[in-house]
Chains A and B, each alone.
Chain A
Amino acid sequence: MPEVLSSEVVIIGGGVIGAAAAYYLCKEGAEVMIVEEDDLAAGASGACDGFISLQTKQPGVHLELARESSALFPSLAEELDDDIEYSPCGGIMLATTAEQLKELKARAKKMKAAGLEVETLSPSDLKSRLPEVGKDVKGASYCAQDAQVNPIALTLGLAHKAQEMGATILRGTKVENIVVTNNRVREVHTSSGSIHSRRVVCAAGTGSNRIGKMIIVDIPVMPQRGQILVTEPREKMLDVILCGAEYLGTKGNIAELLPQDEEAAKLGLGFTAEQTASGNFLLGSTREFAGADAATTPEAINAIAKNAMYYLPWIKELDVIRSFAGLRPCSPDGLPILGTVKGVKGFFIATGHSGDGICLAPITGKLISELVLDGETSLDIEPLSLYRFK
């Protein structure tokens, strides 16, 4: 006989978004159950970078969310028992052509107008902030508010704290169906039994599409693969999060900043580099639509290595010890999908964070908690509604 459980709120997915929602809901005293098919951070949240990057967001709701979210990190670092390796290190974006530099300067102005301090740096300014850069680097933009975190530790830290406040985490448990009667969510059927609940949060990442089908709603998330190389650990050499302008180009689909090289364009190649607290460099990354295949490929590995050497020539001396790939839960416009569903009371969507889920996790968790418990949010999430795509 399968067990019958119940919970005030059921969260589908134990990635960073599900864990953040659980944490903020528990803080408000809610009874929460996370249902996770595999294990905590088994999806994108365990196979990604740890950029909390503000300067790569689009002015408007995207930037606003990111700013609110980044402001929550310092207190999270205090409140969580796990060390999330949060570092307010600042971020640099490099331009390798005059056109890119022009675009970065224009963006810096726009960001300033939107209230975010972004400086432009000349190659000589870079000398004091970075180890040697490639000879094509023409300049950069710098945002002091950019920061870094360990995404796995963040997910685990949020989940642990939620658990301490009473949340239940069901691992290895897959959501198979959701029962809706009289326009309201009643029950969640899982591989290990049924859970009675009147509130369900879908934070299933790339699995959200499948979850939507259970209540006959199209949640348009597509897996977008990103591949990353990991080097041997070294002493601290890089103390900012670093990317190339093409990273922003492929991420935000900004024509002026897209890679010119055909192969690179096909892979959606954009340079990222960070050095983790354990000393390893993470070098990225790609943006490919390759279905649910989270394998790494030789073409991408070679292209990432070559690209990394182009920006940071000295990096060629480091040993690469591993590669990995993650699947970003990508929405059609790259912005998260947050909000309710028409005709299904008690169902909440928190997914589609694309390449920003780590950065946006705290604010997402907070807003979802407000939405689930109070029905309204401190920040207008109308522009993030599912219905913007119709």
Chain B
Amino acid sequence: MRVSGRKEGGETRVDPWSQAWERAAAGAVAVVDCGERIPCNPCEEACTRGAIEVGEDICAPPRFDPGLCDGCGRCVAMCPGMAVFLLDRSVGNGRARVTVPYEMGEEMRAGREVWAMDGEGKPLGKARVVGAKKRGGRAGTTLVTVEVDEGWALKVRGVRDRLITLEAPLEAEAEPLKEYPLCRCEEVSGPRVGEVAAEFASLRSLRRFSRVGLGYCQGRFCQDMLRERLARAREMEEGEVGTFRVRPPVRPVKLGKLGGEDA
């Protein structure tokens, strides 16, 4: 297994995998599985929280700080090498959710059964898609979340539609894009937010009419960025555009649990 953060020349830091594994118990976190000495740093650019650092030497493998990562998934969509995925162990029951980029043309939807693939492109087994979001990043990237046995969680690197033959994984193009969606859950792009912001002056209205912040994360990941964008677009102070109203549940929770069933 390649371990992220191992620098060429023998310099190794704390194993970020075990950190990420622990951190994933509380929700999605990125796992950066990149040890290549290649001139590449879109992941660093993608991350708005400074969790990924490549630094001056663009060939250095990225250093990753799980403590700063909030699992937004931008780096997953941006990495041209498909070397980043999200791990979420908060579902419990020995299950984990893994979010990987998916590049094929056809639609990937929640509920679909797919093959979970390992890093060498070999099928690990069947998995059910629990979320699929079109993302900017490289054109046509969808972030697909599958729920798998915790034991596989670190092995899954991709998914394949079960109807498609399992050969020839598509080569991804190393072309970073400027505009990734501000809200990954509802795939609302920056320009769309700008359009709506031209008409509405509060964060709540922006949400009502553009659906930003209405997805799975409920604005936890995008709110700050949206507030800043909106304030800038309206030439207002950030405080003036308001905040989303936080409504329970604060994190997604199984309906059965709310209804009193033991999980």
Contact = CB atoms under 8 A, between A and B. Distances in A.
A317 B253 contact: no
Given A235-B109, A302-B259, A306-B259, A316 B254 contact: yes
Interface stretch (B25-33, B72-80, B176-184, B198-206): B198-206
B261 A309 contact: yes
Interface stretch (A94-102, A225-233, A375-383): A225-233
B145 to A, nearest CB: 10
B254 A320 contact: yes
Nearest to A315: B255
A279 B109 CA distance: 10
B253 A319 contact: yes
A41 B200 CA distance: 12
B253 A41 contact: no
Contacts of A318: 254-255
A219 B118 CA distance: 66
Given A279-B110, A321-B218, A232 B252 contact: yes
Contact of A152 (B202, B209, B260, B261): B209
B110 A317 contact: no
A210 interface: no
A301 interface: yes
A141 B256 CA distance: 27
Contact of B256 (A172, A296, A309, A321): A309
Contacts of B201: 39, 171-172
A102 B190 CA distance: 54
A323 interface: yes
A19 B87 CA distance: 45
B249 A320 contact: yes
B186 interface: yes
Interface in A209-251: 229, 231-235, 237
Contacts of A172: 201
Nearest to B133: A233
A323 B248 contact: yes
Contacts of B254: 316-320
Interface string A240-266: 000000000000000000000000000
Contacts of B247: 296, 322-324
Interface string B135-169: 00000000000000000000000000000000000
A183 to B, nearest CB: 38
Contacts of B55: none
Interface in A10-62: 39-42, 46
Interface residues of B, number: 31
B211 interface: yes
B205 A39 contact: yes
B92 interface: no
A279 B130 CA distance: 12
Given A46-B208, A321-B218, A229 B110 contact: no
Interface in A298-348: 298, 301-302, 305-309, 315-324
Contact of A306 (B214, B252, B253, B260): B260
A21 B141 CA distance: 43
B171 to A, nearest CB: 29
Contact of A156 (B109, B209, B253, B258): B209
B111 interface: yes
Interface in B205-227: 205, 208-209, 211, 214-216, 218
Contacts of B112: 235
A191 interface: no
Interface string A265-293: 00000000000001100010000000000
Contact of A39 (B200, B215, B218, B255): B200
Contact of B255 (A42, A279, A298, A316): A316
Q: Which of A302, A315, A319 has the most CB of B within 10 A?
A: A319
B131 interface: yes
Contact of A234 (B110, B208, B248, B256): B110
Interface of A: 39-42, 46, 152, 156, 171-172, 229, 231-235, 237, 278-279, 283, 296, 298, 301-302, 305-309, 315-324
Interface of B: 109-112, 130-131, 186, 200-202, 204-205, 208-209, 211, 214-216, 218, 247-249, 252-256, 258-261
Q: Which 8 A-B pairs have the closest CB atoms?
A: A316-B256, A305-B259, A305-B258, A319-B252, A306-B259, A235-B111, A39-B205, A309-B259
